[in-house]
Every structure is written in C-alpha cells, then in structure tokens.
Structure 1
Amino acid sequence: MDTEEIIAKGRRCINIEAEALAKTSAQLDSAFAQVAATVIDSLSDGQKLIFSGIGKSAHIARKLVGTFNSIGAPSTFLDPVNALHGDMGLCRKGDALFAFSNSGETEELLRLVPILKRFEVRTVAVTSMSDASLSKLCDQRLIYCADKEACPLDLAPTASSTASMAIGDALAMVILEWRAFSREDFVQFHPGGSIGKSLAASVDSIMRPTGQFAISSDEATCKECLQHMTNPNSGCIALTDENGKLSGIFTDGDIRRLVLEDADFLGKSVSSFMTQAPITINSGSLAVEALRIFENRKIDDLIVVDADFKPIGVIDGQDLTKVKMV
C-alpha cells in the first residue's frame, strides 16, 4: 500500500468509529437516565458498582472501574468465570452490576446474571443488541450503536468497543456532575501525577512573592501606586495600613474607570478609590482552593496573606495556566 492508501484506510476506521459514537449519542433516551438514577441510588446506599465482561469487554470494564473509582464511585471488576467459583463473595445487596457484551449472548454472563439477582444485585446490560438474551435477563440496559466494525473482516471489536467505552464514560461524567464532584475531590483521589501535584500544591509555590508584585502604603497617591504597578508589571497593587496589614487593593480596572470618571485622580490618595477588604487566601492553602476562588468570584488577582494578615504574595489568574491548573 502506498502512503495515500494507508492514510485513507486509517481515516475509514476512525470515521466508522465516529459514526458509531454519533449514533450512540443520538439514541440515548430515558433508559440512560434511569440507569444513572440506579447508580446514584446504589452509591447513596453505600454500595458499589461491579463491572464484568469477557475478552475485549473485560478490558473496557476494567477501564471503567478505574474511571468510576477516580470520581469517588467505589467500583470493582468481577471476572464472570471466577465469579462462579467463589468470587461472588464480593457482591452485596444493592450493588449495581454492569455486564458488557456486544452480542448480548456471552455465555458466562448469561450464567452469572441470574445468580447475582438472587443476591438482590441490580443488573444492567451494556450491549449493542436490545433484544439479546442479556438485555432480557438484566433489570436495565445501556444500548450503544455499532452497525459494523472498522475491521475489514467486520470481526475485530473496534466500533463496538469504542461505543461501549463511550457510553460508560458518559455515564461516569453524568454521575460526576450529579454528585457535584469538585476539583478538591479530584485532588483527594489523584494525589499522584502532574494533575494531582499541581492541584495539591501550596499557593506559596505558585504566587508571585515579595519583589515580584506591587505593594504600597494606602496613604500613597494613585500616581505613586501606578508607578509601583508598572515596575513589576502587575495588574494590581496590595495596599497596607500603618501596621503593614492588608487594607485594600487597587487594580488596572480601577485605573481605567477613573480615567473616565475623575481626570484628577492621579494626585489623590489611593485610599479613596481602593477596594477595601479584598478577597484573600491564606498562606499554606492548597492551590486548588485558589482556583475555586477565581472561578466563583470572577476576579483577576488574588492576594496571599500570612497569619498576621500581611500581604506576602499575589496570584494572577494567568499564573494558573502556567502550572496546568486550567
């Protein structure tokens, strides 16, 4: 095959899988919402999610176990063969089982589901066949669309595995939002890796420390403050009282407004125009807490204060992108 033919065949595979995803998305209905409600009920009762499958479906099930665990939804994988030889001991009343089978006729799952229902385990078939035996056996079903595989022989799981993975991911993300899973929760379950490290970092490690942000007495004039802000190229200046404690903040936005409202503001005391009691964060706080403040309060700059409420640093909203927090 020449280069163009190789590229064309690669695109064909991706396009077939993309078509399966589009059709799966289009056919989502109330059954999907009902499965989501079942998951919430199980988790709210302190129960867990169980994922099971054979072959490629087992790999997908294991991946989704990791996804749900990562969002705080306790999950485990159950090998359907081993389940029939003792592993069903992990199942409890109220758990929710997700049985993955593209054909819906996987023998091991067809043997497993009726036994688990005796344990009063809630069962969900994840398959492309709504009228398959597995769909009929289970309490609920998630049906994805895979009219054909990207494999030229229409044998190797490609479109079907992609679609089944996607519908599982979709369910996980719905559960994440339903449970109001926050960035702080994400840090709790992801202490390692670059994401966890950046979110779990201290604000002291990402702030602009003394010497790299503008600070002045609140008795200074607006012109003097503007000069201080220009030197460290800062979008704000932290203002302090006679004891060195934070008393206010003066920003680029304030200056732009004053240019239009008061042409003589430069010679006046900044205390007349500063924002008193500005939003702050304590030294030692998690960086993810700073991120939450930026998102909730819609500010551009956040002042870091020490135990005596003295400004020791400033976090610019743009600094968060440098540490891959947004």
Structure 2
Amino acid sequence: MNAFVNSAKRVIEIEQQALAQLNSDLDENFALACETLLNCSGKIVVTGIGKSGHVGRKIAATLASTGSPAFFVHPAEASHGDLGMISKQDVVLALSNSGESQELVTILPVIKRIGAKLISVTANASSSLAHYSDVHILVKVNQEACPLGLAPTASTTAALVMGDALAVALLEARKFTAEDFAVSHPLGSLGRKLLLRVEALMHADDQLPIVAEDVTIAEALFEVSQKSLGFVAIINQAGQLSGIYTDGDLRRTLDKRIDIHSTQISQVMTKHAVTVTPSMLAAEALKLMEDKKINGFVVVDDNNRPIGAINLHDLLKAKVL
C-alpha cells in the first residue's frame, strides 16, 4: 500500500514542479494570445492530436462555457473536409507537445491560406507549428511523471492549466458574470438558481387555491384539501389578496374551539401575508421561505391579485438548492 502512496506523491510532486516552471516561463506571448482571442470576431477553433487532442477538447469546452465561443476540430478530420468549419474570422488554437504532429503540420498551410489567426501551444519554440504561428506559447516540462518518460503526464497537465489560464483571463477581460455562465448551463444547479423564476413553478388557474372572504372555514379547508398546497388565498370583493389560511392557522383555530362550519374564513385568516411576484427568482423565493420560516407563498400581480401559488415542495422538486 505504501508503494502506491509513494508513487502518487512522486507524480504529484513532478506535476507541481511542471506547473511552477509553467508559471516562471509565462511571458508577453500569453498576453498577445489573450488579445488575439479577445479580438476574435469569429470562433476559437481548438485542435490537437492524441493526448493533446483530449486536452484540446476540454479547453474548447471551458472557453465556450465562459464566454469565448469555441469548438474542437480533430486535425485528421480537418484534412477530410472539416477545414470548411474554419473561416478567416476565426482563431485556431493548436496544441502539440512536439510541435511536429504530422496531422497538424499538414493543415497549417491551409489555415494560413484561409487567413485565420494561429496560436500554438508547444514545448518546442523552433518547431514547425511554432514557426507557422502568429503567437506561440511555450509549455515545456523538464520531466514527465511517467517513469518511462513515454506517457504524456506532466506535459498534458501543464497544457490543460495553460488552457484554463487563457479561459479565465478572457473571462475576466469580458467581465463575464455568474448570470452569463448560467445561460450556457441552464440544467446545472447554478442555472436553476440564476435563471428559474417563480412563474415557471407556480400553480395557477384551476390549481390555485383561492376563496372569497365570506366563505366558512370548512369551505376554505375543502379548497386547501383539493389543491394540496397546504394553504389557501383569501380575496376581497375587488379580487385582491386580503389574507391567507394555512395548516398552521387551522391548528390554532381548533385550539380556540371555533366552529368551522359557521365562522367565516376572514375572521381567522392571517392578514398581510408574505407574497412573491412571478418574476422573482426561485432561489430568492426559497431564501425568503427560510428567512420567514414558512412553507409557501401566494404569487400576486402588480395590483395584489393572486395569480399563483408556490410551496417548498415545488422548489425542492425543481432542485433550487
């Protein structure tokens, strides 16, 4: 077991050293690459073969999700038609540790003929890829973590970190916000928190539990039971919300031995109920529930007329957490 742990520690130490070297090698070419990418009027086309290709796919995904439109093109497929995806307005970000990968070198003249800008990330500043590039970023490591020196390990880690550095630098330059991030991640937890609004979750129309002020408590309870939200909205003659009656109110009513068949709901309802608007973020509604220690809201329009209802179960079901 100790042999495994020692091996892991050795790998981590080597890769930490690679990242330290990456940090010290960072120069003005990185800034120039960022400016080129920031000024790109088309898309960022990431390409690479083998392990560099795997890293390139991740970099393209990170760029795309942080405000820099990007996609990955396999260099071998590019030679068989996918070069048509690249336009003069694009910037190609090519990754190759050696800078001599045949599949990449083959398509370099075509990229230059198209007129797209080319940024390369290699460990060899004298390589063919670096020579053809408008901007070259050096990502070189002294040692791979693989004891055979064959499997790309520290070098791919360094390339991946360089991609993250580019993406974050561009994110900050674009003033990319959490709301922007949520737009491209609508099914993620952040997307649900920042995009989902009360109107998308509320019970409306026939599902809205609502009664008039002059009905009896028993009649109001029937509405609560029918709609299964744990409360009912009470409206005045103008159709505006005048109160709310909850399961908790019922317990207090029974404690007072009030006749539920003859007493009007208006006499026992909770006035000045906390309400929400349909445009409120679902995450805000959840926070308000927690702060007020209540399990549901009536949703009202600008004239204080009930148009919907929402409870804690609705928010939990939508995973607004």
TM-score when scaled to structure 1? 0.63
Residue 196 (structure 1) aligned with residue 191 (structure 2): yes
CA contact (8 A) 2:89 2:116 kept: yes
Aligned counterpart for 1:14 among listed residues 12, 15, 18: 12
Residue 105 (structure 1) aligned with residue 100 (structure 2): yes
Matching residue of 1:214: none
Question: Aligned pair in 2 of structure 1 residues 96, 284: CA closer, same or farther (>3 Å)?
Answer: same
Structure 2, gaps ≥5 residues long: 201-239, 243-275, 286-290, 293-297, 307-318
Matching residue of 1:4: 2
Residue 128 (structure 1) aligned with residue 126 (structure 2): no
Residue 87 (structure 1) aligned with residue 87 (structure 2): no
CA offset at residue 308 of structure 1? Answer: 4.3
C-alpha separation between the residues in 2 aligned to 1:127 and 1:286?
A: 46
C-alpha separation between the residues in 1 aligned to 2:198 and 2:187?
A: 18
Question: Aligned pair in 2 of structure 1 residues 72, 5: CA closer, same or farther (>3 Å)?
Answer: same
CA contact (8 A) 2:121 2:159 kept: yes
CA offset at residue 193 of structure 1? Answer: 2.5
Residue 175 (structure 1) aligned with residue 170 (structure 2): yes
Cα deviation digits, residues 181-209 of structure 1 (max 9, x gap): 1111111100113232233333699xxxx
Aligned 1:235-246 pairs, distance under 5 A: none
What RMSD in Å do the two structures reach over aligned CA positions? 3.5
Aligned 1:39-54 pairs, distance under 5 A: 39-42=37-40, 45=41, 47-54=42-49
Question: Aligned pair in 2 of structure 1 residues 16, 40: CA closer, same or farther (>3 Å)?
Answer: same
CA offset at residue 86 of structure 1? Answer: 1.5
C-alpha separation between the residues in 1 aligned to 2:164 and 2:22?
A: 12
Question: What percent identity do the matched residue pairs reach?
Answer: 39
* Equivalent position SS for 2:146: coil
C-alpha separation between the residues in 2 aligned to 1:145 and 1:97?
A: 20
Question: Aligned pair in 2 of structure 1 residues 119, 184: CA closer, same or farther (>3 Å)?
Answer: same
Residue 60 (structure 1) aligned with residue 55 (structure 2): yes
CA contact (8 A) 1:151 1:158 kept: yes
C-alpha separation between the residues in 2 aligned to 1:70 and 1:186?
A: 7
Cα deviation digits, residues 3-29 of structure 1 (max 9, x gap): 222101101001111111121122211
TM-score when scaled to structure 2? 0.64
CA contact (8 A) 1:64 1:168 kept: yes
Cα deviation digits, residues 241-285 of structure 1 (max 9, x gap): xx999xxxxxxxxxxxxxxxxxxxxxxxxxxxxxxxxxxx95532
